[in-house]
Amino acid sequence: MDAYAKSKINKVQLSKRAHYDQKTVHAILDDGLVAHVGFEDKDWPMVIPMIYARIGETLYLHGAKAARFAKAMGKGLPVCITVTHLDGLVLARSAFHSSVNYRSVVIHGAARAITDVDEKTRALAAVTDHIAPGRWDEAREMNDKELKSTGVIAVEIEHAAAKIRTGGPIDDDEDYELPIWAGVVPVGPVFGTPSDDGRVPAGVEVPESATRVLARNQRPLSGAKQP
């Protein structure tokens, strides 16, 4: 499968910004750090920001086993997961045409609780390395108590769609002569210099996982000259 099938669940109304191919959806997921996870709990809608990781067509979420998300979603609830990157503020000559540049993904699937120790370990390693690549191997192994107290939820990607906007503002023709500035203010994450917790033994250097995180600062930001 190279693309997700369009359906009433994932169809994007503004078709020129829609993308259903796996490559685009996976890239947005893999470049993100926080997912907003929506589900229903006791007849109330809930949306929780969570860190995550993708392995193939499965998204893994983790947190305390006693937390609301683990108890509710572990029952096999349908869930909606979104990941969004804000790439630029698009300032047009009119408020109506002002916008933002962004890359977003909306996913639907059924949640399941992970009980298999091997799958849980793989999922936790993936989540750890998604945040700081290589950190799982640098850190101490999780013990049995930690594994048992950690809830891991898997969500198979059943429906998915990406939506992307790039480029500068598109104003009405008559507005281009107005003495009003228009353009794009680029937006992107900035990762600061790693700071230890004050209890690191002498001689222990900043690990590779932290320096790999800093490499994200080199990614280009969204500007007005984009297509």
pTM for the structure as a whole: 0.91
Is it the case that residue 224 has pLDDT exceeding 50?
A: no
pLDDT 10s digits, 126-147: 999 999 999 999 999 999 999 9
Q: What is the mean pLDDT of residues 175-192?
A: 95
Query: What is residue 220's predicted lDDT score, i.e. its pLDDT?
Result: 65
Is it the case that residue 172 has pLDDT exceeding 80?
A: yes
Instruction: In whole angstroms, give the CA distance from residue 127 to residue 140.
Output: 15
Instruction: Return mean pLDDT, the chain.
Output: 92
Is residue 47 a contact partner of residue 35, using CB atoms and an 8 Å limit?
Answer: no
Is residue 93 a contact partner of residue 176, using CB atoms and an 8 Å limit?
Answer: yes
Q: What is the mean pLDDT of residues 198-210?
A: 95
Is residue 60 a contact partner of residue 52, using CB atoms and an 8 Å limit?
Answer: yes
pLDDT 10s digits, 32-90: 999 999 999 888 999 999 999 999 999 999 988 878 787 888 778 899 999 999 999 99
Instruction: In whole angstroms, give the CA distance from residue 129 to residue 126.
Output: 5
Tokens standing for residue 3: 């693309």
Q: Which long-range contacts (CB under 8 A, 24 or more apart) does 118-123 make?
A: 119/152, 119/154, 120/147, 120/150, 120/152, 121/147, 122/55, 123/53, 123/55, 123/60, 123/62, 123/152, 123/154
Q: How many CA atoms are closer than 13 Å to the CA of 177, on its beta-carbon side?
A: 2
Is residue 26 a contact partner of residue 20, using CB atoms and an 8 Å limit?
Answer: no
The full set of domains in the chain, from first to last, is 15-172 (2.30.110.10)
End-to-end CA distance of the chain, in Å?
A: 28
Query: What is residue 76's predicted lDDT score, i.e. its pLDDT?
Result: 82
